[in-house]
Structure 1
């Protein structure tokens, strides 16, 4: 049998507790099991660590030396374990256009702790969470409630109208969001932010053109199949030669959500990322 960390842990705990009974209780093992572990340790080292016979726990000279070195080793192992855990990689999934300022601040906070962040583009972040492909989902659409995922609102984004460059709306003067309730609407059903319910009195006869990701959505807008709305970061992050983005005075904002698995509970490195993410969030959320 080779020397193992469990032998060091058992011996140090025995020395600190002062008796086999108290040490066994701290280690959550039976006293005979602890006694055998100490005896195995002495056989491995080929020397006595505990003086015998003795009514109180007394260490031999070898035992004193072994205690000192064991404590140093266990401290170093614990520090190494803690350091490696903080360097654990967190996989962040998103459907399209990560919110720039928030993500930059979050990544900086987490990487200051020694962690690493990888990003994964996926049409369905909720499904990727369920499948264990990602640890954290960033989405603007949390319309898939489930007992297995916790969704936390962490910010809002101002939206802009998106229309085809060929549309009459591209340069119409005095345009307002309320004026657009009857125009055909392009809806990204998987990860979009705009639905007919974004208007006070949805028109049941309104033409709805559906798609399932941002790439399809922007091409449908460019083709003048309908209008849409996206966060204003699209104006510089997703320009398109055939799409015009317009600011409107009454356009509603969109909401940002973080999602993570509730079962099983997130490990410590994911919780550390969440702390960094929520610290960088909009304080009004």
Structure 2
């Protein structure tokens, strides 16, 4: 048997605690198990480290030397572990426009814990999550349900209507969401929030124009190929000179989701990020 970290931890605990009972409790083993570990250690080193003749067990002269070196090694191991964990990056996939307040608070909280985040924009972060290219994903469209991925709703986002500046809808007074059920619709199939199902009475055979990302979607709206709806933060963070964003009284909210792989199980760093993210959710969170 070779020298192992558990030998060092058991020996240091015994020397510092002064009894086998307290030392065993400190390293979370039974007292007989701790005694066997100390005996193994002495056999591995071929020397007596503990003076068992005294009322309170303590280190021999050889044990004193081993105690000093063991403490230094364990301190170095703790420091190395902390340094390596700090190098670990949790990869966060997103399609567009991360939510403001919640994500900023989550990032700050996670970095306070010593973690690092790497943001990766993707047309389809759900597929990247499934393939292992990212560790977690923040999405508004989860796509086909997969048993290997867990999804947690993290907020409801207010949405706004998006229309071409050339469209009469940009200036129509008293416009409501229900009035738009027959208009051509631009759909971002990968990461969008709006489909004909968002209207309970959407016209059968309604004209739709599809695209795969936000940039294409905005240009199609600007070209007056159809209407669309996006979270309200797009009005400030994705402006376009040929696109008008309008608030409507009856436009439905969209849901924001946080996803992670269930299999294989998340790494310790990913789990810490998820804990920080969920901890900062309000009972009725708003991410708009």
TM-score, length-scaled by structure 1: 0.83
Task: For 1:1-285, list aligned pairs within 5 A.
Answer: 5=5, 8-9=8-9, 11-12=11-12, 18=20, 38-42=42-46, 48-49=48-49, 59-78=59-78, 80-82=80-82, 84-85=84-85, 88-285=88-285
CA distance in 2, matches of 1:178, 1:52: 85
Q: What 5-or-longer segments of structure 2 have no aligned partner?
A: none
CA distance in 1, matches of 2:84, 2:57: 36
The alpha carbon displacement at 1:132 in A equals: 1.5
For 1:22-78, what per-residue CA distance to the aligned partner results, in whole angstroms no more than 9, with x for missing partners? 99x769x9x999866543334xxxx65356999x98753111332354245324523
Q: Which segment is superposed worse, 10-19 or 140-149?
A: 10-19
CA distance in 1, matches of 2:97, 2:108: 18
The alpha carbon displacement at 1:133 in A equals: 1.3
Answer whether contact 1:7 1:41 (CA < 8 A) is retained. no
Secondary structure of 2:104 counterpart? helix
Q: Which segment is superposed worse, 191-200 or 64-73?
A: 64-73
The alpha carbon displacement at 1:136 in A equals: 1.0
Q: What 5-or-longer segments of structure 1 have no aligned partner?
A: none
CA distance in 1, matches of 2:201, 2:188: 20
Structure 1 residues 53 and 173 mapped into 2: Cα distance closer, same or farther (>3 Å)? closer
Secondary structure of 2:218 counterpart? helix
The alpha carbon displacement at 1:84 in A equals: 3.9
Structure 1 residues 52 and 99 mapped into 2: Cα distance closer, same or farther (>3 Å)? closer
RMSD: 3.3
Answer whether contact 1:51 1:57 (CA < 8 A) is retained. yes
Structure 1 residues 77 and 33 mapped into 2: Cα distance closer, same or farther (>3 Å)? closer
Secondary structure of 2:276 counterpart? helix
Structure 1 residues 26 and 80 mapped into 2: Cα distance closer, same or farther (>3 Å)? farther
Answer whether contact 1:7 1:38 (CA < 8 A) is retained. no
Answer whether contact 2:2 2:44 (CA < 8 A) is retained. no
CA distance in 2, matches of 1:76, 1:26: 27
The alpha carbon displacement at 1:206 in A equals: 0.9
The alpha carbon displacement at 1:14 in A equals: 7.7
For 1:253-285, what per-residue CA distance to the aligned partner results, in whole angstroms no more than 9, with x for missing partners? 111000001111112221221122223334315
Q: Which segment is superposed worse, 135-144 or 172-181?
A: 135-144
Equivalenced residues, count? 279
CA distance in 2, matches of 1:91, 1:58: 48
For 1:63-116, what per-residue CA distance to the aligned partner results, in whole angstroms no more than 9, with x for missing partners? 133235424532452354246435531111101111122221111111111211
Secondary structure of 2:259 counterpart? strand
Secondary structure of 2:120 counterpart? strand
